[in-house]
Amino acid sequence: MRSDCKVVWDRCLQFIQEQISEQSFKTWFKPIVPKQLENNTLTIQVPSQFFYEWLEEHYLALLQQVIHRELGPQGKLEYSIIVDKGTKRQQPFTIKLPLHPSPYATQQAPPDLRSPFALKEVGSAYKTALLNPNYTFDSFIEGDCNQLARSAAQAIAQKPGGTAFNPFMVYGGVGLGKTHVVQALGNAIKANFTDKFVLYVSSEQFTTQFIEAVRNNRLQDFSHFYLQADLLILDDVQFLAGKDKTQEIFFHIFNHLHQAGKQIVMTSDCPPRELKGLQERLLSRFKWGLTADLQQPDFETRVAIIHSKMEADGIDIEEELVQYVAHSVETNIRELEGVLISLIAHASLNKEKINLELAKQVLKNIVQEIDIEVSMDYIQKTVAGHFNVSVESLKSKSRKRELVTARQVAMYFIKKYTSHSLKSIGQYFGGRDHSTVSHALQAIDDLLDTEPHFKRSFEDLQRKVKFKMPL
Ligand code: ADP
Ligand code: MG
């Protein structure tokens, strides 16, 4: 058997070698170990999850081709992934080809989990399929940007349903850690209270399941299933917008669970008051408990996140480089992770060390090279130019009307497009304090609401600013 699979894999390698560059072949195919050949399924072992993802993304078609060539149309490929992070050993797991797509590429539940309410009992398979075990509080780096959300989640993890934070609503932009923090809460409750049923569901899945239940006349099963939860996490509720029937059933589930003292947790990409297309009675309930936001991480937090991710992958990079990446990617953590993965991939592909030169190259394709101080200056200059005033006057004490507006607009953009705190923005405008900046943001919001003329010219300027900025 063992030799069989080796023979087959060697033939695959020969074919692959002819199709791709020597370098890529060495990097991505040499380290693969053939493990087993059974029922037309070849199992190969790859050294890491990243490795597997890379293969999936770049060589899927080639692998499919070669497997079909060697094993016929029924041929399948399975990966066994060994992730060895020092002491932490992750279970190897297998992915079948061509039963694509990979579990990373999609949040879709496997077929039998599409109607979990139809299962005779809520099997352990379902319970464990719901949460990503890597999303823990330990791996969730703390910063000013997530202080409230994180500590509230930790408090709830100690006493689900027993705090004033019920429901608990986390909101924030894309890639800022909403799913991570609520799943960390779920994982913690599972660890603290083994008998509690933690139910995590994306609003999209919830909607699909609901539709499936209606179609099969199983609404009662559907409700019954959700009413068993001790902790119900509904991710991305903004997705329920305009789906009145789904909202209705969620409203009932919500009421029942809440009355029974069960914990409800939700996430959303905007604050509840801005959730359009959600029924008022639902929105008013969201406000019963605690609403906490996730902000863009500041520089120090980004540095800490990079350290933690690199450590988890067992990769060592210089401090200078960490800072460079943290300066360059300001928007969100998912993007930050993307940059890190590109860096690792480039380095591993070209057998280079990850150094500043490489980082600059990689980042050039992803974000514009621009320093954080430069962006503050850049905004001041651009806004000053637009309003026909000088940068010095923006920093001066003068309270001339057109100057005040220009200054407020500049503060607004800096807050929006950089990760400077209110305090540091104030300092940059002639040593004003943070409440002045906070007042400026409000003033601009008001102007945008009430002055269409101002709004148009503001939007013109915004395009200019955005264009130059690493968004
Ligand atoms: P959202 O649900 O808000 O779009 P996610 O929770 O999916 O964002 O987070 C995006 C990525 O960033 C995930 O890989 C997550 O682990 C990571 N991440 C977010 N916040 C943090 C944090 N504070 N510390 C470490 N990793 C984080
Ligand atoms: Mg999410």
Q: What is the pLDDT of residues 270-287, one digit of tens each?
A: 999 899 999 999 999 998
Q: Which atom of ligand 1 is nearest to the CA of 174?
A: 4
Top mutation candidate among 134, 269, 333 for ligand 1, by most atoms within 8 Å of CB = 333
pLDDT per residue as tens digits for the range 234-254: 999 999 999 999 999 999 999
- CB atoms < 10 A from the CB of 113, how many? 16
CB-based contacts of 242, cutoff 8 Å, min separation 6: 277
- Please give the Cα distance from 255 to 32 (Å, whole number): 53
What is the 311 CA–ligand 2 centroid distance (Å)?
Answer: 23
Q: What is the pLDDT of residue 238?
A: 96
pLDDT-based confidence at residue 84 (cuts at 50, 70, 90) = very low
In the reported structure, the alpha carbon of residue 180 is separated from the centroid of ligand 2 by a whole-number distance in angstroms of: 7
Q: How many Å apart are CA 111 and CA 127, to the nearest integer?
A: 15
Helix, strand or coil, per DSSP, at residue 302:
helix
Ligand 2 center from residue 203 Cα (angstroms): 10
Q: Ligand 1: distance of its center to the CA of 337 in Å? A: 9
pLDDT of residue 119: 57
Q: What is the 3-state secondary structure (H, E, C) of 87-99?
A: CEEECCCEEEECC
Q: Is the pLDDT of residue 91 over 60?
A: no
Going 121 to 124 to 130 to 136, the CA torsion angle's sign is positive
Worst-scoring range by mean pLDDT, 250-264, 350-364, 407-421? 350-364
Distance, in Å, from the CA atom of 443 to the CA atom of 423, rounded to the nearest integer, reads 17
The DSSP annotation for 333-382 comes to HHHHHHHHHHHHHHHHHTT----HHHHHHHHHTTS----HHHHHHHHHHH
70-79, 85-94, 248-257, 321-330 — most confident range: 248-257
| Secondary structure class of 85 (helix, strand, coil) | strand
As given in the structure block, the two tokens for residue 133 are 């075990």
pLDDT tens, 358-400? 787 777 766 654 443 447 888 898 899 889 999 999 999 999 9
What are the CB-based long-range contacts (under 8 Å, 24+) for 368-374? 368/468, 368/469, 368/470, 369/328, 370/328, 370/468, 370/469, 370/470, 371/327, 372/299, 372/327, 372/330, 372/418, 372/419, 372/420
Percentage of residues of the chain with pLDDT beyond 70 = 85
> What's the predicted TM-score (pTM) here?
0.62
Confidence at 184, pLDDT banded by 50, 70, 90: very high
Query: Tens of pLDDT along 6-36?
Result: 999 999 999 898 877 776 787 789 889 998 8
Judged by its nearest atom, the ligand closest to the C-alpha of residue 183 is 1
Q: For residues 183 and 248, what is the distance between their CA atoms, to the nearest angstrom? A: 25
DSSP 234-287: EE-GGGGTT-HHHHHHHHHHHHHHHHTT-EEEEEESS-GGG-TTS-HHHHHHHT
Q: Which two tokens stand for residue 251?
A: 């409203």
pLDDT at res. 101: 35
Mutate to test the pocket of ligand 1, among 238, 302, 334, 340 (most ligand atoms within 8 A of CB): 334
Q: Which residues contact 120 (CB under 8 A, 6 or more apart)?
A: none
Question: Taking CB atoms and a 6 Å cutoff, what residues make up the pocket around ligand 1?
Answer: 139-141, 146, 172, 174-180, 305, 333-334, 337
Query: Which element (helix H / strand E) includes 17?
Result: helix 2-19
Dist. CA 437 → ligand 1 center (Å): 28
Residue 459 has pLDDT above 90, yes or no: no
